[in-house]
Structure 1
Amino acid sequence: MTDAALLPDKRQVAASFSRAAATYDSVAALQRQVGSQLLARLPAAAEPLSWLDLGSGTGHFSRALAANFPRAEGIALDIAEGMLRHARPQGGALHFVAGDAERLPLRDGSVDLIYSSLALQWCEDFACVLREARRVLRSGGTLAFSSLCTGTLQELRDAWQMVDGFAHVNRFRSLATYQALCRDSGMALVSLDVRPEVLHFPELRQLTGELKALGAHNLNPGRPGGLTGRARIRALIDAYEGFRQPAGLPATYQVVYGVLRKDS
């Protein structure tokens, strides 16, 4: 099975994140941390005349980009219209656009910087995302992204495997796939690395509640339908307890950071 076949339908992704717009910021500590680290990876001499926040969500990093580059024209783009409605009144970008990273509604060579934090893991065709990024970037422009790869939420996945054989946890493409596609993108690969980020929760319900509030609960194709029975939840809790650490129940995110440059 290919990496793409493991990914959820983008219409379901858009609907899930639209519903989560009002609750997202209250539980987005990891997203803030990762996005800030991605900002720090932008080229030191970057002075874009225009930037695109790709998968802009509630607009937190659109506002950060506007503060960093006050003379640049900013575009916030997201597939979830509910996120855009939430972000627009808070400003940051000049334009708020509903769009798909695999079919960007932008002209060729129209932006100097594409910033995308924890959004591209939901795209089925990452090669197409890279082609679109290369198309809309001006010569010398930069694509900086963070995403998730296999191994993310491995503890939750393993705990569910002890309970039943269904796909209860979102699946992500492999690091090797990111490496190969970035290498073949036609852009210069400035950097690409993966860093684990581990959150800890006092109880399992805090983790599952956070995933729901983020809109990032189980969106897998082939996921089990209907309600999860009480006995299976009890079995899941017991299985996850086997991973408990002194700080609490761990939830590991394997975060990929990439920076690419369009040289021509």
Structure 2
Amino acid sequence: MTDANPNVLPDKRRIAASFSRAAASYDGVAGLQRAVGAELLARLPAAMRAQRWVDLGSGTGHFSQALAERFPAGQGMALDLAEGMLRHARPRGGAAHFVCGDAECLPLAGASQDLLFSSLALQWCGDFAAVLGEAHRVLRPGGVFAFSSLCVGTLQELHDSWQAVDGFVHVNRFRRFRDYRQLCADSGLDILDLHMETRLLYYRDLRQLTHELKALGAHNLNPGRPDGLTGRARLLALVEAYERLRTPAGLPATWLPVYGVLRRRLE
């Protein structure tokens, strides 16, 4: 995914519908998402105090609860594009408000928030520059925008295996790390931390991986994917291609999360 090529970006209605359907199954397979979010939470400035915070792309509300524990005197908002996720999260509490909204056009007043926290949600936004612009707008001077997302190379093994089968888009596109770096540098926000890491997971078989992606709501959401059911012959060819990558630990899948902690300058 790149901001310069909007023709390859997934449709937001499809994204919202996919994650709404995944609300009940998400937590059961979200080990990586929990680990990345916990790492992002640990990277918040140790001394910061947030009276007003937003969990942006809040999903099932796991990190809304964690933020409420981190900032017990604050008032939080869980904001997500998927209404189904918000319905699932609301009974669990954590946030004072649950709002359906878009990170590229936040329904928030200017200079109203001390913290925007977003873990593994912004990779679904087509215009990351707009996300950064909105963060700059709604943060108070000294406020922090902390995010994690995914970079090109995520699920590379699955992508390469599909390429051995056909030329369709079967794996979600992600931005390059250098694109994140440039966009953050141009945002007007001070960069406190920006880095990428590699997380390599192993799966018993291809079915386990594809089941997990579907349960997360993160299966193929991009234009260019083949319509209709994937033929049995192609699936068998995909399994054969991926099996060539098998290690004693299982089938590898690379995930490349990027972490960013940015701050609006004091004025």
For structure 1, the 5+ residue unaligned runs are: none
**Residue number in structure 2 paired with 1:207:** 209
The one-letter code matched in structure 2 to 1:45 is A
Choose which of 98, 113, 116 in structure 2 pairs with 1:114.
116
Checking the alignment, whether the CA contact within 8 Å between 1:189 and 1:259 is kept in structure 2 is yes
| Deviation for aligned residue 1:156 | 0.0
**Residue number in structure 1 paired with 2:99:** 97
Checking the alignment, whether the CA contact within 8 Å between 1:6 and 1:172 is kept in structure 2 is no
| Deviation for aligned residue 1:3 | 4.6
**Residue number in structure 2 paired with 1:153:** 155
**Residue number in structure 2 paired with 1:51:** 53
State how far apart, in whole Å, the 2-side matches of 1:3 and 1:258 are. Answer: 23
The one-letter code matched in structure 2 to 1:252 is T
Please give the per-residue CA displacement for 1:201-224, whole angstroms capped at 9, x wherever unaligned: 011000000000000000111210
Structural mapping, 1:69-218, within 5 Å? 69-218=71-220
Q: Secondary structure at the match of 2:256?
A: strand
Please give the per-residue CA displacement for 1:77-125, whole angstroms capped at 9, x wherever unaligned: 0000000000000000000000000010000011101100000000000
State how far apart, in whole Å, the 2-side matches of 1:158 and 1:6 are. Answer: 18
What percentage of residue pairs aligned between the two structures are identical?
67
**Residue number in structure 2 paired with 1:239:** 241
The one-letter code matched in structure 2 to 1:121 is Q
Choose which of 32, 39, 42 in structure 1 pairs with 2:41.
39
**Residue number in structure 2 paired with 1:63:** 65
Checking the alignment, whether the CA contact within 8 Å between 1:102 and 1:132 is kept in structure 2 is yes
**Residue number in structure 1 paired with 2:13:** 11
Checking the alignment, whether the CA contact within 8 Å between 1:4 and 1:173 is kept in structure 2 is no
Rate the CA distance shift 1:218–1:134 in 2: closer, same or farther, 3 A. same
Checking the alignment, whether the CA contact within 8 Å between 1:3 and 1:174 is kept in structure 2 is no
Q: Secondary structure at the match of 1:200?
A: strand
Q: Secondary structure at the match of 1:251?
A: strand
Aligned pair count reads: 264
| Deviation for aligned residue 1:4 | 3.8
State how far apart, in whole Å, the 2-side matches of 1:224 and 1:92 are. Answer: 40
State how far apart, in whole Å, the 1-side matches of 2:80 and 2:149 are. Answer: 15
State how far apart, in whole Å, the 1-side matches of 2:21 and 2:5 are. Answer: 26
Checking the alignment, whether the CA contact within 8 Å between 1:7 and 1:172 is kept in structure 2 is no
Q: Secondary structure at the match of 2:77?
A: strand
TM-score (ref. length: structure 2):
0.97
Q: Secondary structure at the match of 2:89?
A: helix
- Tell me the C-alpha RMSD between the 2 structures: 0.9
| Deviation for aligned residue 1:257 | 0.3
Please give the per-residue CA displacement for 1:150-201, whole angstroms capped at 9, x wherever unaligned: 0010000000000001100000111111011000000101111100111110
Please give the per-residue CA displacement for 1:38-66, whole angstroms capped at 9, x wherever unaligned: 00000010111111000000000000000
Q: Secondary structure at the match of 2:198?
A: strand
TM-score (ref. length: structure 1):
0.98
| Deviation for aligned residue 1:10 | 1.1
Q: Secondary structure at the match of 1:217?
A: coil
The one-letter code matched in structure 1 to 2:118 is S
The one-letter code matched in structure 1 to 2:57 is G
Please give the per-residue CA displacement for 1:114-137, whole angstroms capped at 9, x wherever unaligned: 100000000000000000011000
The one-letter code matched in structure 2 to 1:217 is H
